[in-house]
Amino acid sequence: MASQLVFLLFLFNLCFAPFPLTSASQPIDECKAWLVQSIPTNMTDLTPVPGVLSTADVFRWLAGNTTRELDITAQYWEFIALPNDNRSGDYGYTDAQLGSFGANEGLQVYQSLQSAADRNVSIRILQNSGFYPDYDTESASLAAGRPNVQNVTLLLSNWYGSGIVHAKVWISDSKDIYIGSANNDWKSLTQVKELGIYLVNCSSVATKVEVYFNNLWKLAFLNSSLYTKTVWDQQWQIKRQVPCWSHFVPFQERCRSPLPHYVETPHVAGYPTLLDPNMFQLAINTPGYNNTSSQNNSCYLSFAPPEMLFTKYQADEQGWVDTIKSVGAGATVRINTMDWLGQSQYLSPTVFWSSLSSAISEVVFSKHATVKVIAAYWAYYLNGTDEYLKSLLYSNVLCSSSKYNNCAGKVEIKYYEVPGYNKTGPALSNGKSTGNIYPDFTRVNHAKYVVSDVRAHIATSNLIWDYFYTTAGVSFGTDNPSIISQLQEVFDADWNSPYAIPIVPL
Ligand SMILES: *[C@@H]1O[C@H](CO)[C@@H](O)[C@H](O)[C@H]1NC(C)=O
Ligand SMILES: *[C@@H]1O[C@H](CO)[C@@H](O)[C@H](O)[C@H]1NC(C)=O
Ligand SMILES: *[C@@H]1O[C@H](CO)[C@@H](O)[C@H](O)[C@H]1NC(C)=O
Ligand SMILES: *[C@@H]1O[C@H](CO)[C@@H](O)[C@H](O)[C@H]1NC(C)=O
Ligand SMILES: *[C@@H]1O[C@H](CO)[C@@H](O)[C@H](O)[C@H]1NC(C)=O
Ligand SMILES: *[C@@H]1O[C@H](CO)[C@@H](O)[C@H](O)[C@H]1NC(C)=O
Ligand SMILES: *[C@@H]1O[C@H](CO)[C@@H](O)[C@H](O)[C@H]1NC(C)=O
Ligand SMILES: *[C@@H]1O[C@H](CO)[C@@H](O)[C@H](O)[C@H]1NC(C)=O
Ligand SMILES: *[C@@H]1O[C@H](CO)[C@@H](O)[C@H](O)[C@H]1NC(C)=O
Ligand SMILES: *[C@@H]1O[C@H](CO)[C@@H](O)[C@H](O)[C@H]1NC(C)=O
Ligand SMILES: *[C@@H]1O[C@H](CO)[C@@H](O)[C@H](O)[C@H]1NC(C)=O
Ligand SMILES: *[C@@H]1O[C@H](CO)[C@@H](O)[C@H](O)[C@H]1NC(C)=O
């Protein structure tokens, strides 16, 4: 046991200890990284964090700088507001109102995509089917009459019975990349709170995410009925449909994967935690914070659903869990999410999913860690959230339930309320004023990330079972100290703002 622990610690150090400085003669990787945010209008009480870029700028630059190829994953397309369509949540707002909401930023991003398309940039769009009322009209318009633009819809529900393309990734010329929470929607630029990372001149990250993109692309062209199986999923105790190469399928019954090879773990059902997931060393410059170009840092990518994994990259759930567990003794984990449910959302019967809350309780108990969670309170707040959050808060009671526990860790949770969140929706309905002051699906903190004292994890998935097992999502993680510090500052600005309201325990 002790020797195993020593071995684990040894591995941990190998993965996370920064490489020593090397002499200056060696050419260093040119990767630059910035955190990227969208901040809804009228949040005047939020302390700005210097050096963070805006999502609208980054999307424009990604499109504007591409010379060769632009790969985009999208859940849906709504860069252009639809105030004249009575089926839209934008309906009835005046041009002046839309202007004050920042809708023009969305139009500009769309125009930068049009201009990339007109420059004969090869654009590959991998999307979900979009939303009522206009679905994927915008990407279809980009593709119309342009052989250099391919618009492909992947329906993961054909593969899993539910699930969507929910990853939000832009990859430009296999070297510049955005990964984060922002949708291809004007509202995601100025009316929804988002967080992502922009990596520039960073082919070592971009080409890896491109493999994942290509996996999804390949799936879109396969006949799912030839490549799926319904199995008893031993881990989640449910019968469900999965790709036939899934590790949830008993080894002897698995098909050969049409995707690149992923590590096999015989005698195990599902996708267990990898002791040594793929990490890569990267010297990342952070011009928006402190420059740290001379030192290598460990970085990783994690992906969902697990059947899209390749080589030895970890599943997205492991990326989250390991970041929570990376916390040092007595240190703090900061988690920001829109949703929080310890279960599935779209499965029948419902799956119970305690992976993240267990990891939190574990570090509260054994490492005396403080875990701070921000969850969103908004118009589409999910029932059950309050109960699951309060069950997580109950860890505090359990932790100090015996004097022998010697408990010094704690969980603290706040709801985040963007002002105006309960007055969203179309301005007009049946010719009458609704009293709403913002369009539908706005005024929400939609960012998804976790940051400990030693590791930052920037994600695209909601914290609900489905997003890790049936839905496409990507995360980028690193132990780069500047990215960690700046992400902590972003969290603390929210946590200490009047928009974050503590949850009172049961
Ligand atoms: C802006 O926020 C303030 C306070 O947070 C609120 O009183 C005001 O109504 C808001 N205005 C709009 C247009 O949302
Ligand atoms: C290219 O990206 C840089 C920042 O990475 C930005 O300053 C510049 O404006 C972009 N160029 C175009 C044409 O968008
Ligand atoms: C557009 O690019 C493709 C290859 O990427 C090339 O074959 C084609 O000739 C280009 N078209 C124009 C009009 O430049
Ligand atoms: C792609 O764009 C073309 C051209 O506009 C359109 O006819 C087609 O329906 C679109 N396909 C998808 C999957 O959106
Ligand atoms: C990326 O590299 C190119 C070519 O080396 C350089 O021109 C550009 O300024 C770099 N971009 C950034 C943001 O440093
Ligand atoms: C997919 O495969 C099924 C089963 O062989 C077949 O019935 C169906 O026509 C195929 N669909 C397409 C689009 O090829
Ligand atoms: C950083 O890591 C890369 C890849 O492992 C290596 O080639 C490079 O020499 C390292 N650079 C420094 C400054 O340690
Ligand atoms: C990072 O380095 C560049 C080039 O040396 C410098 O212009 C910039 O001010 C530095 N940024 C910070 C935040 O130190
Ligand atoms: C959610 O809770 C509210 C208030 O208790 C209730 O009115 C509503 O029907 C619930 N919705 C669902 C989908 O359970
Ligand atoms: C909307 O939210 C504000 C701030 O939380 C609250 O004061 C107000 O009562 C709410 N209004 C409605 C109609 O729920
Ligand atoms: C919405 O607009 C359409 C056409 O513009 C019209 O036929 C329809 O009656 C309108 N519906 C409502 C509820 O106003
Ligand atoms: C960044 O720079 C500031 C001021 O120079 C310094 O206080 C801070 O420790 C630095 N942070 C990191 C992570 O290097």
Predicted confidence (pLDDT) per residue in 374-424, tens digit = 999 999 999 999 999 999 999 999 999 999 999 999 999 999 999 999 999
Q: Which residues line ligand 11 (CB under 6 A)?
A: 86, 430
Select from 427, 325, 446 the least CA-distant residue to 40: 446
pLDDT digits 0-9 by tens, 358-388: 999 999 999 999 999 999 999 999 999 999 9
Query: Per-residue confidence at 293, pLDDT binned at 50, 70, 90?
Result: low
CA of 417, closest atom in ligand 10: 5
Is 122 touching ligand 3 by the criterion CB < 6 Å? yes
Reduced to 3 states, what is the DSSP secondary structure of residue 87? coil
Reduced to 3 states, what is the DSSP secondary structure of residue 95? helix
- What CA dihedral angle connects 197, 203, 207 and 210, to 10 degrees? 40
Peptide bond into 48 cis (omega under 30): no
**Could you tell which of 62, 68, 172, 200 is best to mutate to test the pocket of ligand 5, judged by most ligand atoms within 8 Å of the CB?**
200
Distance of CA 365 to the CA centre of its chain: 27
Is 140 touching ligand 4 by the criterion CB < 6 Å? yes
Select from 481, 492, 488, 486 the least CA-distant residue to 454: 481
pLDDT value at 16 more than 90? no
* Integer Cα distance of 387 and 384 in angstroms: 5
Label the pairing between strands 297-304 and 280-282.
Answer: antiparallel
Is 279 touching ligand 7 by the criterion CB < 6 Å? no
What's the pLDDT score for residue 290?
A: 84
What's the pLDDT score for residue 371?
A: 98
Give the Å distance between the CA of 307 and the centre of ligand 7.
31
CA of 19, nearest ligand number: 7
CA of 226, closest atom in ligand 6: 2
Counting every residue, how long is the chain? 506
Give the Å distance between the CA of 297 and the centre of ligand 8.
19
Element (H, E) at 178: strand 176-180
Query: Per-residue confidence at 505, pLDDT binned at 50, 70, 90?
Result: confident
Query: Per-residue confidence at 344, pLDDT binned at 50, 70, 90?
Result: very high
* Integer Cα distance of 121 and 382 in angstroms: 41
Nearest C-alpha to atom 6 of ligand 5 is from which residue?
A: 201
CA of 485, closest atom in ligand 12: 13
Average pLDDT, the chain: 94
pLDDT value at 464 more than 50? yes
Q: Which residues line ligand 2 (CB under 6 A)?
A: 60-61, 64-65, 200
What's the pLDDT score for residue 506?
A: 78
**pLDDT greater at residue 2 or residue 293:** 293
Give the Å distance between the CA of 202 and the centre of ligand 7.
14
Give the Å distance between the CA of 226 and the centre of ligand 6.
7
Is 200 touching ligand 5 by the criterion CB < 6 Å? yes
Element (H, E) at 70: strand 69-74
pLDDT value at 9 more than 50? no
Give the Å distance between the CA of 383 and the centre of ligand 9.
6
Over residues 56-81, the mean pLDDT reads 98
What's the pLDDT score for residue 1?
A: 36
Nearest C-alpha to atom 3 of ligand 8 is from which residue?
A: 287
Beta carbons within 8 Å of 52's beta carbon, 6+ residues apart: 34, 35, 36, 37, 288, 486, 490
Query: Per-residue confidence at 285, pLDDT binned at 50, 70, 90?
Result: very high
- Going along the chain from its start, the domains and CATH numbers come out as 27-215 (3.30.870.10), 268-502 (3.30.870.10)
Kindly state the percentage of the chain with pLDDT values over 90: 92
Nearest C-alpha to atom 9 of ligand 6 is from which residue?
A: 223
Determine contact, residues 372/334, Cβ cutoff 8 Å. Answer: yes
pTM score, whole prediction: 0.93
Give the Å distance between the CA of 416 and the centre of ligand 3.
48
Beta carbons within 8 Å of 70's beta carbon, 6+ residues apart: 62, 63, 113, 116, 121, 122, 123, 124, 170, 171, 172, 173
What's the pLDDT score for residue 266?
A: 86
Point out which residues pair with 37 in neighbouring strands: 54, 195
Query: Per-residue confidence at 18, pLDDT binned at 50, 70, 90?
Result: very low
Is 175 touching ligand 5 by the criterion CB < 6 Å? no
Point out which residues pair with 239 in neighbouring strands: 232
pLDDT value at 12 more than 50? no
Beta carbons within 8 Å of 337's beta carbon, 6+ residues apart: 373, 374, 375, 376, 447, 448, 462, 463
CA of 291, nearest ligand number: 8
Element (H, E) at 426: none
Is 283 touching ligand 7 by the criterion CB < 6 Å? yes
Determine contact, residues 304/460, Cβ cutoff 8 Å. Answer: no
Reduced to 3 states, what is the DSSP secondary structure of residue 311? strand
Any idea which of 19-23, 125-129, 158-162, 384-388 has the lowest mean pLDDT? 19-23
Give the Å distance between the CA of 239 and the centre of ligand 3.
48
Query: Per-residue confidence at 13, pLDDT binned at 50, 70, 90?
Result: very low
Give the Å distance between the CA of 30 and the centre of ligand 8.
14
What are the structure tokens assigned to 310, written together? Answer: 């390749």
- Name the packing angle between helices 55-65 and 103-118 (round to 10°): 10
pLDDT value at 27 more than 70? no
What's the pLDDT score for residue 24?
A: 40
Is 294 touching ligand 8 by the criterion CB < 6 Å? no
Report the phi/psi class of residue 51: left, alpha or beta, with left for phi > 0 and alpha for psi in -120 to 50.
Answer: left
Give the Å distance between the CA of 151 and the centre of ligand 1.
40
Over residues 174-191, the mean pLDDT reads 98
* Integer Cα distance of 266 and 237 in angstroms: 20
